[in-house]
Amino acid sequence: MKHLSPFTTYKINIAVDVEGGASDLEPTEIVLTTRFAAPLLAPRVWPVNSKVTKTSLEFKWTRPNCTSLNGIFKQYTIGGNATKGETGISGRNTRSYTLHHLTPCTVYSFTVRFVNTFRRGPIGVAYKKTEDDRPGRSFNLMLEPQDNGDLVATWQESGENPCNVDSYIINIQPVGEGKCEEIHVIDESDIALDRNDRSYTFGRSELSLWGGTEYQVSLRAVNTIGESDPDAARKYTNVLRK
């Protein structure tokens, strides 16, 4: 017999048919169950939109049905790009799971499989993005003094989160008093920069920077939600040669 369903009980009646008439033997009834197989279908998985936050996501999935489970239920396995491999979850009535400690503005995948006592089934998957937040910091801000007395600041995109950046704000200020305890006054106003900028030059002549003096540069990223914490770096300007 071919093309039977896995893990299914069949009742088979066997009778003997002889030439010239019915047999004196009684029909025989046989009951047998086919072997286990992997679950046939993947669960349907979806995010719970009302539970989306900046750092957590909740997902739900459908329960397995008897005809497609192809065996005795053992557990669910969950996975995705927020988990370290696949993790087993017992309890057939379990139908949701919440991911915590996530990064804002990030798309996460979440997978679920049905597992019976024979093996795992195909994967069901869903995707959802965490809520937006203000930009992160950690711009890898670096300062490079120039021979002409200028100070060049360079930076990269934030390493904390991928949230949108509309602009940058940068400023400079002397770290301490200058030579001979003179009062060192420069323009410390915030300077607004384009979102695509990755460098800015503080000109010696425009800002009256002193040679051989330590300055601190602060950088913040801005979007519609707010500003990032500042990233700062310090550097001495070069002593000008006469």
Give the domain CATH number at 174: 2.60.40.10
- 183 and 97 within one domain: no
Which residue, 65, 96, 129, sits at the end of a domain? 129
- Return the pLDDT at 121: 93
**Does 210 reside within a domain?**
yes
**Does 242 reside within a domain?**
no
The per-residue pLDDT for range 150-186, each reduced to its tens digit, is 999 999 999 899 999 999 999 999 986 544 455 566 7
If one counts the domains in the chain, the total is 2
Q: What percent of the chain has pLDDT over 70?
A: 81
Mean pLDDT of the chain: 87
Q: Is the pLDDT higher at 19 or at 115?
A: 115
Which residue, 78, 103, 129, sits at the end of a domain? 129
- 177 and 101 within one domain: no
Tell me how far apart the terminal alpha carbons of the chain are, to the nearest angstrom. Answer: 100
**Does 61 reside within a domain?**
yes
- 221 and 196 within one domain: yes
- 149 and 121 within one domain: no
- 173 and 98 within one domain: no
The per-residue pLDDT for range 192-204, each reduced to its tens digit, is 999 999 999 999 8
Distance (Å, whole) CA 19 – CA 126? 63
Asked whether the predicted pLDDT for residue 7 surpasses 90, the reply is no
- Return the pLDDT at 207: 84
- Return the pLDDT at 186: 73
**Does 5 reside within a domain?**
no
- Return the pLDDT at 22: 59
- 150 and 191 within one domain: yes
- Return the pLDDT at 13: 66
Asked whether the predicted pLDDT for residue 127 surpasses 90, the reply is yes
Q: Is the pLDDT higher at 228 or at 19?
A: 228
Distance (Å, whole) CA 197 – CA 151? 16
- Return the pLDDT at 65: 86
**Does 6 reside within a domain?**
no
- Return the pLDDT at 242: 62
**Does 12 reside within a domain?**
no
> What residues make up the domain containing 209?
142-236
Q: Which residue, chain included where needed, has tokens 């979102």?
A: 195
Least confident of 22-36, 86-100, 144-158, 170-184: 22-36
